[in-house]
Amino acid sequence: MSGTTGGAAVGGRFAVPVVDISGWSGGSAAGRALIAADVDRAASTVGFLQVRGHGIPDGVVRDFAAALDAFFALPLEEKRQLRPPSPDVNRGYTPPRTEKLSLSLGVATPAEDLFEAFNVGSEAASFPGLRLPEAHYPANIWPPVPGFRRAVEEWCGRAGALARRLTGIFACALGLAEGYFAPFTDHSLDVLRMNHYPRPEGDLVPDRGRLGMGAHTDYGIVTVLWADRVAGLQILDDRGGWHDVAPEPGCLLVNLGDLLARWTNDRWRSTLHRVLPPTDDAGRLVRRRSAAYFHDGNWDAEITALPGCVPVGSEPRYPPTTVGRHLAEKLAGSRAGRLNENAPREAARLRKADNG
């Protein structure tokens, strides 16, 4: 039951491929092979797909969106109380105009990004016996908003299960056993970043140079992205052109992160993306919400090119790393403002882009 409706460019318009995965679990071998082939094509050409048939009920999405609204509606002073003890702790509240995502790939933008965010993620305490480092698996901070924790935990459970189903599809699409990635993700460091792009007070048109969220690649294995169907998100193509992306009704966006690019030696893409100040059809500034569920893998997992992805006689394009080291370099850039000098390939792609 697979269907790819759309390709990288359909009739001159850019489109993110839609893949219906409802026939994956328990489906026929032929149906599963079609889904894996569709995913392989989208991963190799666009690095983003839209997943239909993900099985998450509308009511769960509605409750989650309501929880986001209730949290972001709190007065700024109350939200500021929920900041982590230091920006290195990837939890809690980030006020608007404090991070620059492009620093994660070593490029500085003139102004801080517009977004505000609230992060939750995997905690060391959830894996008793493994003695995971608190620095990578810090405790969550929960706001005093009735129903927020329940709705957010429900969403994390659903998005996390979808991410795991996707890694099974990815393994098959790469010619590996379905459970290939399981040993890399049995204590996966997953983070949900809930983003809010407030409409800037008083501004009618976007302030040039101020982005909703600066250009970046996602750092981990795969991201499940829920987003309002409001213009803002753009992805970069090979020729340096930016393209607007919004999910089709009922679909979730899914994009690959750096670890899959490293694993596949760039057969699959960790696509650069950014968010412009969101606007409506008439070009007026509006608010927008999104939530990125990052499935990043075990902090101590070693990432080296997969069998078959490096041509005989050539060197892998990336040096080996661990999930923990890669994330720490990226987060030092985006959250703590230290330019990441370990992402030369991504920085070169951004410098080549048309930044208009």
Between 79 and 216, name the residue whose CB sits nearer to Fe ion.
216
Report if residue 102 touches ligand AKG, rule: CB under 6 A: no
Among ligand AKG, Fe ion, none, residue 193 binds (CB under 5-8 Å by kind)? ligand AKG
How would you label 46-62 residue by residue, b for 16+ Cβ within 10 Å and e otherwise? Answer: bbbbbbbbbebeeeeee
Nearest to 294 by CA among 343, 324, 256, 347: 256
Q: How far is the CB of 104 from Fe ion (least distance, A)?
A: 10
Max CA pair span of the chain: 59
Asked if residues 340 and 214 have their Cβ atoms less than 8 Å apart, the reply is: no
In angstroms, rounded to a whole number, what is the distance separating the alpha carbons of residues 355 and 110? 12
Residues in 213-252 that interact with Fe ion by CB under 5 A:
218
Residues in 180-209 that interact with ligand AKG by CB under 6 A:
193, 195
> In this chain, which of 213, 259, 276, 350 binds ligand AKG, going by CB under 6 A?
213
Identify each DSSP E strand in 207-295 by its residue range.
Answer: 213-216, 222-227, 231-236, 242-244, 252-256, 273-279, 288-295
Among ligand AKG, Fe ion, none, residue 290 binds (CB under 5-8 Å by kind)? ligand AKG
Report if residue 273 touches ligand AKG, rule: CB under 6 A: yes
**Could you tell me where the DSSP H helices lie in the chain?**
29-45, 58-72, 76-80, 148-173, 258-263, 323-334, 344-352
Among ligand AKG, Fe ion, none, residue 213 binds (CB under 5-8 Å by kind)? ligand AKG
> In this chain, which of 292, 301, 347, 350 binds ligand AKG, going by CB under 6 A?
292
Between 32 and 193, name the residue whose CB sits nearer to ligand AKG.
193
- 10 Å CB burial of residue 140 (0-12, 13-18, 19+) is middle
Q: How far is the CB of 216 from Fe ion (least distance, A)?
A: 6
In angstroms, rounded to a whole number, what is the distance separating the alpha carbons of residues 244 and 236? 9
Q: How far is the CB of 132 from ligand AKG (least distance, A)?
A: 23
Q: x-or-dash pattern for ligand AKG, window 217-256, by CB under 6 A? A: -x------x-x-----x-----------------------
Binding site for ligand AKG (CB under 6 A): 193, 195, 213, 218, 225, 227, 233, 273, 275, 290, 292
Binding site for Fe ion (CB under 5 A): 218
